[in-house]
Structure 1
Amino acid sequence: MERTTNIISISKIEEIPTLETIKSIPRERTLKLVFENEIKSKRKTIGENLKKELNGFLVAVHTFEPEINIAKLITDEEIEDNKLFFEQCAKDYRDLAEELIFKLADKLGIIINQDYPMMTFNELKSDKKQMGKIENWKYFVHGFHCGFENNKTAQIIEAPLVFGLEFGDLDPYFFTRYIKSTPKYNPLPIAIFEDYADGIRINEKMLSLGKFERISSNVGNHYGIVVTDRQKVEIKSFEEISKIHEQQNIKFEESKFNFWKFIGLKK
């Protein structure tokens, strides 16, 4: 489903649509406010006020252009009406991510570190196997994930690597892109327009409904979201993994793998 955009030129405050008017805009339509003349200087202040008042909307103040773009996000009611669909998507995501990760490990002849898979897959970078192909899939190890894209269907999925052998973490952006790219889900029962912002709302509502739950990760101060109805696996904390490495006479923060260095940050 494609969106249409209403463009309104604003030369004075009075020309800004009322909150009631903006709230009445359906999700299939976006609003672009283009600021002219001396009112351009007030664009950022107006945008910040709109963000405070428009709960459930994405309000984007353009960095360079004199415009504000407004879009209504997926609603709680829409998510609740489709909770079984999103729950099944989450289960399918988990199954496929796990399947692809183990197929990749098998093809490359590597043994996944069950406590901390990231340590195993980081080794691919030094071996120039960070990207490649497996069956009909392209793969690419990056950040905390290994991304896969199907050459035939264009389906995409990101398998997380920092939750032990739990590969069902639902990053809001990756989860919605997976849903939209999966052929068997199309046409979708409910439109998803804003991959990240709609994804956040889906996750938060599904958490409140008890369909999703939060989990800790192998990385300090980092958590994930997974479907509640699943066979749970143990996820060791950063402290537990560090202790294991100490017992093996390996100083974790200086071991061959350092995830902060891997993603370009110093720690």
Structure 2
Amino acid sequence: MDRTTDIIIIKSIDQLPSVDEIKSISRERALKLVFKENINRQREEIGQYLDDTLSGFLVLIHKIDPELNIVKLITDKEIEDHQNFFEQCAKDYRQLGQKLVFMLVDKLDLNLNKDFPLDTFNELKRDERQIGKVAEWKYFVHGFHCGFQNIITGQYIEVPLVFGLEFGDLDPYFFVKFILSSPDYHPLPIPLFEEYADGLRIIEKMVSLGKFEKIHSKIGGHDGTVVTDREKVEIKSNLDLEKIFVNHIKEIEKKSKFNLWKFLGLKK
């Protein structure tokens, strides 16, 4: 579903729509306020006021163009009414993420670090394997994720790699993008327009409803959110991972014939 944009030219303060008028707009409409020169100097102040006042709205203050863009975000009631849909989307996300990771591991014959998959996937960033294709999916390893996009349907998913074998972490932007790109969900039972802002409201409300829950990764203080109704997996703590890496390094040193001290001409 597309959004229509209503444009209002603002030449003076009295031409600004009231807060109540803005609150009455539907999510299918976007409001663009275009400020003329004599009032444009007040635009940022007005935008900040509206941002502070309009709960459940996104107010975008353009840094260059003399305009404010205002949209209504998905409401708590809409999320509550469609909680079963969002819960199923989260389950599908988790299941597909796990499937794709193991497909790629098998294709590239990787030795998956099940406690910390990012350790394995970081190896791919060092060569041409960072980007490639597995079955009908393109993939790209980056940051804490491996992104996949179906070359036939366009379905898109970003699979997290820092929660052990838990591949269902829901980033607000990635979660909504997954929903919007998944053909099986269309026509959507509820329109979604703002990928990050709507996604954040969905995740926060679903957590409050008990449908989603928080999980913790000690990697850089990176936490996540997953569907509550799932088969839970253990996520190693930072201390556990440090022990794993220390033991891993020791094993490499034992197997290595290279001796740094001899190389430097010193006895050790």
TM-score, structure 2 normalization: 0.91
Structure 1 distance, partners of 2:159, 2:248, is 28
Partner of 2:52: 52
8 Å CA contact 1:164, 1:218 repeated in 2: no
Give the aligned partner of residue 232 of structure 1.
232
Could you say which residue in structure 2 is the equivalent of 1:261? none
- 1:255 corresponds in structure 2 to none
Percent identity over paired residues: 60
Give the aligned partner of residue 209 of structure 1: 209
SS at match of 2:235: coil
1:239 is displaced (CA, Å) by 2.7
Three-state SS of the structure 1 residue aligned to 2:128 is coil
Deviations 1:2-22 (A, max 9, x none): 110000011111111000000
- The DSSP-based 3-state class of the residue aligned with 2:234 is coil
SS in 2 for 1:233: coil
- Partner-residue secondary structure (3-state), 2:21: helix
Matched with 2:254 is none
Q: Deviations over 1:169-218 (max 9, x none)?
A: 00000000101111110000000000000000000000000000000014
> Residue 70 and residue 165 in structure 1: after superposition, are their counterparts in 2 closer, same or farther (change >3 A)?
same
Matched-pair contact (CA < 8 Å) for 1:138–1:149: yes
Counterpart in 1 of 2:98? 98
Letter in 2 for 1:114: K
Aligned CA RMSD, in angstroms, stands at 1.0
Q: What is the aligned partner in structure 2 of residue 65 from structure 1? A: 65
Letter paired with 2:185: Y
Cα deviation for residue 125 of structure 1 reads 1.4
Contact in 2 for aligned 1:218/1:241 (Cα 8 Å):
no
Match of 1:163 in 2: 163
Q: Which residue of 1 aligns with 2:256?
A: none
The correspondence of residues 172-211 of structure 1 with structure 2, limited to 5 A, is 172-211=172-211
Gaps of 5+ in 2: 251-268
The 1:184/1:248 distance shift into structure 2, 3 A limit, reads closer
Q: Bigger radius of gyration, 1 or 2?
A: 2
CA offset digits 1:233-262 (Å, max 9, x no partner): 011122321133234456xxxxxxxxxxxx
Aligned letter for 2:144? F
Aligned-pair distance for 1:222?
A: 1.3
Aligned positions, number: 250
Is the Cα contact below 8 Å between 2:2 and 2:28 reproduced in 1? yes
- CA deviations 1:58-116 (Å, max 9, x no partner) are 00001110100000000000000000000000000000000000000000000211111
Is the CA contact (8 Å cut-off) linking 2:125 and 2:142 kept in structure 1?
Answer: no
Match of 2:142 in 1: 142
Unaligned stretches of 5+ in structure 1? 251-267
Secondary structure, in 3 states, of the residue corresponding to 2:192? coil
